[in-house]
Amino acid sequence: MKRIARSRHVLGAVLTVALAASVAGAAYAATTASTKSSLATAPPHAATASQWAKLVAAAKQEGSVTLYTSQNPLFLADTAKAFQARYGITLTVNRNIDAVLTQQVATEENSGKVNADVLVLASRPIVLAMQKPDKQWVVNAVGPDLYSKGYDRTVFGGPGKANIVGEAILGMGWNTNLYSKPLTQLTDLLDPSLKGKIGVVQPSSPSLVDWYLWVEENYGKSFLPKLAAQAPKIYVSSLPMTQAVTSGEITAGSFVATSAINLKQQGAPIDFTVPKGKGVPWNAPWWGMVLKGAPHPNAAQLLMDYLVTKEGQATSQQHLGVVLRGLPDTYYIKPRVQDLKALAPAQVTAFQNYWNGLFIH
């Protein structure tokens, strides 16, 4: 059996999507009884100026907030510094893949002790499952920037109580000390000289399965068997794969984070490109949600709002998809619509079994 590569950034085992998709969501728990009654049951809308001022003051009193996210922690470190500088609130980031984060939140909810304040995931089926009435774990986000003219809610708002805070964009990376030719399309990874020297990502969540569906749409059904024949190493996410390319553990990776651009600028032997296939590059929307059981409910609301400000986007979404126009070194693109039928639990499990049969022996 092929070994699955590990990283210190990855905590715990990869869980099945069927387990991840079993969670659900809720209504807004506001700072006062009056705001609770007015905002909890209504469709998502912004707090009034007075309500927001009181919420920000209360958030500063809480003093800290915890973000569970599958976003890039290298960029979020800058976000945490900027957020603390602006509000005096400490931001703690727990970064992991969607499947692991979902299980962590489910465990916390079932124990009655929630540690997460804001949850950001890239798998639409899980986001929808978290908003079913049987669990009620998610509340309305009420920050004014989520309802401003610059934030197009027809594109980025929803579903339900969730809101898109950016988009993941992944590409190919290669170690320039080990491979001199540029890579432009995924088919370049079929170079015989790269056999046993490339990395692939394990489809542990609906968003990762969606990436493979995009690959098949753009490169044909026969591409994955050919890729598997290259004897690749398997990674649980883009971050350890990016590290592996930089270190020379592998020569090239098929699912590399845009932080490779930063590493290249710092002198690391890595290059990066985003394959476009037949047209628009693949992207995975990141949906942010404020948890009903958040231990810092006011700071959670403030952080959720901050993530879609120009400052929040510029730090957290470097070289990635953004929800505001005109930000340098970012992509303003339409979020990919994940096919819910194709990403239903049974279909995801079937694809994972097919993938395992190709890549794990």
Domain membership of residue 356 (yes or no) is no
Q: What is the mean pLDDT of the segment spanning 100-122?
A: 95
Domain membership of residue 235 (yes or no) is yes
Domain membership of residue 80 (yes or no) is yes
* 113 and 205 fall within a common domain: no
The predicted pLDDT at position 278 comes to 80
Q: Which tens digit of pLDDT belongs to each residue from 303-349?
A: 999 999 999 999 999 999 999 999 999 999 899 999 999 999 999 99
The predicted pLDDT at position 240 comes to 97
* 44 and 159 fall within a common domain: yes
Q: Which tens digit of pLDDT belongs to each residue from 263-294?
A: 999 999 999 999 987 877 899 999 999 999 99
**Residues of 7-19 as b/e, b for ≥16 C-beta within 10 angstroms?**
eebbeeebbebee
Angstrom CA distances, 127 to 144, 239, 286, stand at 22, 23, 10
**In angstroms, how far is CA 45 from the centroid of its own chain?**
24
pLDDT band at 185 (very low <50, low <70, confident <90, very high): very high
Domain membership of residue 290 (yes or no) is yes
pTM: 0.85
Q: What is the mean pLDDT of the segment spanning 109-116?
A: 94
Hey, is 79 helix, strand or coil? helix
Domain membership of residue 10 (yes or no) is no
Domain membership of residue 4 (yes or no) is no
Angstrom CA distances, 359 to 7, 139, 189, 282, 342, stand at 20, 40, 15, 22, 21
* 79 and 155 fall within a common domain: yes
- Domain boundary (282, 310, 337) is at 282
Q: Which tens digit of pLDDT belongs to each residue from 19-49?
A: 333 332 232 333 333 334 334 446 788 999 9
Hey, is 118 helix, strand or coil? strand
- Domain boundary (260, 282, 304) is at 282
The predicted pLDDT at position 259 comes to 93
Domain membership of residue 325 (yes or no) is yes
* 159 and 300 fall within a common domain: yes
- Number of structural domains (the chain) is 2
The predicted pLDDT at position 321 comes to 95
Domain membership of residue 219 (yes or no) is yes
* 202 and 63 fall within a common domain: no
Q: Which tens digit of pLDDT belongs to each residue from 50-100?
A: 999 999 999 999 999 999 999 999 999 999 999 999 999 999 999 999 999
The predicted pLDDT at position 42 comes to 65
290: DSSP letter: E
* 209 and 230 fall within a common domain: yes
Q: Which tens digit of pLDDT belongs to each residue from 141-183?
A: 999 999 999 999 999 999 999 999 999 999 999 999 999 999 9
Q: Give the DSSP H/E element, type plus range, for residue 172.
A: strand 171-175
pLDDT band at 219 (very low <50, low <70, confident <90, very high): very high
* 97 and 31 fall within a common domain: yes
Q: What percent of the chain has pLDDT over 70?
A: 88
**Residue with the two structure tokens 């690391």:** 268
Choose between 134 and 131: higher pLDDT: 131
pLDDT at 247 over 50: yes
Residue 222 C-beta-side C-alpha neighbours within 13 Å: 1
* 160 and 183 fall within a common domain: no
Angstrom CA distances, 29 to 108, 210, 321, stand at 18, 33, 30
* 27 and 133 fall within a common domain: yes
Q: Using CB atoms within 10 Å of the CB of residue 181, give its burial: 0 to 12 exposed, 13 to 18 middle, 19+ buried.
A: exposed
Angstrom CA distances, 300 to 170, 291, 296, stand at 28, 8, 6
* 160 and 27 fall within a common domain: yes
Assess contact for 213 and 341: CB atoms under 8 A. no
- Domain boundary (231, 261, 282) is at 282
* 22 and 140 fall within a common domain: yes
* 141 and 199 fall within a common domain: no
Which residues constitute the domain of residue 247? 171-282
CATH number of the domain to which 25 belongs: 3.40.190.10
